[in-house]
Structure 1
Amino acid sequence: MTASLDTPAPTFPLREKVRPAFESGDPALRIVDLFSGCGGLTLGAAQAASAAGLALDVRLALDFEQSAVDVYKANFPQANAVVASVEDYFDGELDDELTEAELKTRKSVGTTHLLFGGPPCQGHSDLNNRTRRDDPKNKLYLKVARAARVLDPSIILIENVPTVRLDTAGVVQTTFDLLKKLDYKVATVTVGIHSLGVAQKRRRHVLLASKIKGLDPELVLKDLSSRTEDSTFDLEWAIGDLVGLVNPTGYDTPPKASPANIERMEYMQESGDKDLPNDLRPKCHQDGNHSYKSMYGRLSWNDPAQTITSGFGSIGQGRYMHPSALRALTAHEAARIQGFPDYFSFSSAAKRADLATMIGNAVPPALMREVGAAAIDSLALKPEPIGQLTFEPSRTGGELALAG
């Protein structure tokens, strides 16, 4: 290990157990989170809002997985979080007039400062060999653009895997063009999450759009993408304190491994190797039959992890062997590596498979936290005058202002 385990985290300590009062502050940052999962993007927005002295007001959060919404509600109890498909609330085609359902959504949600979403990315992933680049779910990316037409938010963020740019239907370009027609400034970039303060080598494609006069998406994304990686954010920093827990329970429970994988981990621990030799791999992963070298690999305390997926509990799914223990990662460790502090509770997830899926599919909160910091500053929200309870949109010069 590279440093004392007592060394504090540089920013947003992962070991913090007391949840900030995200709903406290004046005024409120009003957000809509589509494909919300367990709430990674919302947590990032909450952290940014809290740092600016603003309250978080989740006007709408949508996901079709009950277990993910249960976790979301447990962590954001005042949020309007709903188990539903995004299409239930935004059911029109891109250029159509607003539907009855969409008019109802617009009325119930009201003014939206930030609209964001992480549409399903499996169809764009290089790990998906069956429907890569040509998956009907890929078009869900366009639903965020449709939601923008319905809600007219001040700022929009859409995140996905870098290969979303190669989608056969051209969803990124179509969304880019539509938002330009709606008078947004739009920019895209691929960002390394490690440089934002996450102990993980993960890259995400980001589309950022703004109607705020003082917010230039291109400059914001240029800043994000130009940040250098910080070696401080390694696995020791993220999970070093979780080694050797006595009688671990819940999401600290170690995953079980097959006898064959135990032998493979014993070899790597004794030899010090990070990669499993070819002759010790399953036959389907030998002799160039598999292109992913990290399969059955061991992590290092001095480095960030590879991209966390829902398979983090098995060394056969990637480089997920613990740096010093004979096991793969626990759910708690994977959540930390994704950037979820300990005050974020996953206890409502009853099934291990559901827990693995929502952690693996989550967007690291740091992405929205860093973008949110720039967005909130540009919004220049002001406390409401006494007796005025709600914000009303004023689009003079493209800036959001209080109705007087």
Structure 2
Amino acid sequence: MSKSKNKLKAVDFFCGGGGMSYGMKKAGIKVLAGIDNDSNCEETYKANIKGAEFINADVFDLKEQELQETLKLEQNDDNLLLIGCSPCQFWSIINTDKEKSKKSANLLIEFERFVKYFNPGYVVVENVPGVLRRKKESGLEDFINWLEENNYKVHFKVHNTSDYKVPQNRKRFTLVANRVTDVEIEPVLGRGKKLTVRDAIGEHNGFPKLHAGNKDPENRNTVAGLEPICIERMQYIKKDGGSRFDFAHIPRLQLDCFIGRDSSFRDTFGRLWWDRPSSTITTKFYAVSNGRFTHPEEDRALSLGEGAALQSFPKDYKFHGTSIANIARLIGNAVPPEYARRIGLALKKNHINKLNTT
């Protein structure tokens, strides 16, 4: 059989702006399509994941046979990889509106429906650690049981992406299921020292000095604006890892919500350290009040491009959106492409080994 017939091909459910798809492509896996119910993802996905189809659909409404016909998929295909990185607000430890995010609680169960129908050679799931802590409620326990009962070798664990050459501390639940061999597949670990903020951003990496409120038609150097009092607060925060405690002794600068509550939200207004991995890049990384998202030296929040770089997106990745918040959501929700690539490399190695022994 030809090599092209044996090439791994993937369908990326809940694809967002394409972080997982991009990493899989870099690993040499053909991405057939990305599926997402958010049409705001489409322009970004299409601009970067060349050759893949974008399917704007709600997984609750999408039927297995419909997807099969659209992409000409086969059941029981050893070369097929189904990926499900569903939005995870409901299971996140970050304060979110649980009522608003209730629909996301059942997305894993909907994804499982497609896995059962297609019985692919490989399955990948990436999500917040909360799905593992509450694996009964999230549907994860039943899903893993089904996979194991149907001859899949299943790896599932919480990994920190900083161990996989992503310059960011980001703990994520990762499941890799394989029914092609009896090997438990794990992402390929990074060698050497962990990457840090210094390895990803700064003038030496092509990121210019910027000011709060900078606009960039290409979006890369766009920075959220700041009120004058916030800019003044910035000037008191020590370079390279300072925090809101550096201005807490000045009554007019201290925030009312932190008076007598120094132990709460300690990272708010915090600067990143140059020589450590960044804190987790969330969908709100563009705002200094939402975590440790202040530039290590400059008096501003991270630019959109800097947040993307800390997520391991390449500099030429194009993000499209109608606002800073819209684009930051695409970046913060993404699977770091380098982490995805390392999952893909492990899958590809396993598949090649299988082909070489048959």
Fold match (TM-score > 0.5): yes
The unaligned stretches of length 5 or more in structure 1 are 1-24, 50-55, 90-100, 382-398
CA distance in 2 between counterparts of 1:64 and 1:84 reads 5
Secondary structure of the residue aligned to 1:358 is helix
CA distance in 2 between counterparts of 1:316 and 1:174 reads 39
TM-aligned CA deviation for residue 343 of structure 1: 2.4
Aligned pairs for 1:85-234 within 5 A:
85-89=58-62, 101-107=63-69, 108-110=72-74, 111=77, 112-128=79-95, 130-131=97-98, 135-167=102-134, 169-213=137-181, 215-217=183-185, 220=186, 224=189, 230-231=193-194, 233-234=195-196
**What is the aligned counterpart of 1:35 among 10, 14, 18?**
14
8 Å CA contact 2:147–2:177 kept in 1: the answer is: yes
Worse-superposed segment, 33-42 or 259-268: 259-268
8 Å CA contact 1:195–1:229 kept in 2: the answer is: no
Partner of 1:360: 332
Structure 1 residue 237 and structure 2 residue 199: aligned?
yes
Partner of 1:65: 38
Structure 1 residue 298 and structure 2 residue 267: aligned?
no
TM-aligned CA deviation for residue 302 of structure 1: 1.3
State the one-letter code of the partner of 1:137.
S
8 Å CA contact 1:60–1:81 kept in 2: the answer is: yes
8 Å CA contact 1:67–1:349 kept in 2: the answer is: yes
Structure 1 272/373 Cα, relative in aligned 2: closer, same or farther at 3 Å? closer
Structure 1 residue 378 and structure 2 residue 350: aligned?
yes
Structure 1 336/109 Cα, relative in aligned 2: closer, same or farther at 3 Å? same
Partner of 1:74: 47
TM-aligned CA deviation for residue 228 of structure 1: 7.6
8 Å CA contact 1:154–1:400 kept in 2: the answer is: no
CA distance in 2 between counterparts of 1:323 and 1:273 reads 7
8 Å CA contact 1:212–1:400 kept in 2: the answer is: no
CA distance in 2 between counterparts of 1:202 and 1:248 reads 28
Question: Deviations 1:313-351 (Å, cap 9, x if unpaired)?
Answer: 1110000110111100000000000010012211x3233
Partner of 2:226: 257
Structure 1 318/166 Cα, relative in aligned 2: closer, same or farther at 3 Å? same
CA distance in 2 between counterparts of 1:70 and 1:262 reads 34
Secondary structure of the residue aligned to 1:255 is coil
State the one-letter code of the partner of 2:162.
H
CA distance in 1 between counterparts of 2:94 and 2:191 reads 27
8 Å CA contact 2:269–2:290 kept in 1: the answer is: yes
Question: Deviations 1:108-163 (Å, cap 9, x if unpaired)?
Answer: 3334522112111111111125429x934211112222221122211111011112
Worse-superposed segment, 141-150 or 40-49: 141-150
State the one-letter code of the partner of 1:31.
A
Cα-Cα RMSD: 2.7
The unaligned stretches of length 5 or more in structure 2 are none
Structure 1 307/229 Cα, relative in aligned 2: closer, same or farther at 3 Å? farther
Secondary structure of the residue aligned to 1:109 is coil
- The 4+ residue runs of structure 1 with deviation greater than 6 A are 245-248
State the one-letter code of the partner of 2:108.
Y
8 Å CA contact 2:200–2:309 kept in 1: the answer is: yes
TM-aligned CA deviation for residue 103 of structure 1: 2.3
State the one-letter code of the partner of 2:118.
L
Worse-superposed segment, 191-200 or 110-119: 110-119
TM-aligned CA deviation for residue 275 of structure 1: 1.4
TM-aligned CA deviation for residue 32 of structure 1: 0.6
Structure 1 206/272 Cα, relative in aligned 2: closer, same or farther at 3 Å? closer
Structure 1 253/191 Cα, relative in aligned 2: closer, same or farther at 3 Å? same
TM-aligned CA deviation for residue 176 of structure 1: 0.7
**What is the aligned counterpart of 1:45 among 19, 24, 40?**
24
TM-aligned CA deviation for residue 230 of structure 1: 2.2
CA distance in 1 between counterparts of 2:335 and 2:122 reads 18
Question: Deviations 1:339-387 (Å, cap 9, x if unpaired)?
Answer: 10012211x3233221011011111012221121111111129xxxxxx
8 Å CA contact 2:11–2:81 kept in 1: the answer is: yes
TM-aligned CA deviation for residue 285 of structure 1: 2.9
CA distance in 2 between counterparts of 1:229 and 1:315 reads 31
Secondary structure of the residue aligned to 2:167 is coil
TM-aligned CA deviation for residue 78 of structure 1: 1.6
State the one-letter code of the partner of 1:253.
T
CA distance in 2 between counterparts of 1:345 and 1:294 reads 29
TM-aligned CA deviation for residue 84 of structure 1: 1.1
Structure 1 194/155 Cα, relative in aligned 2: closer, same or farther at 3 Å? same
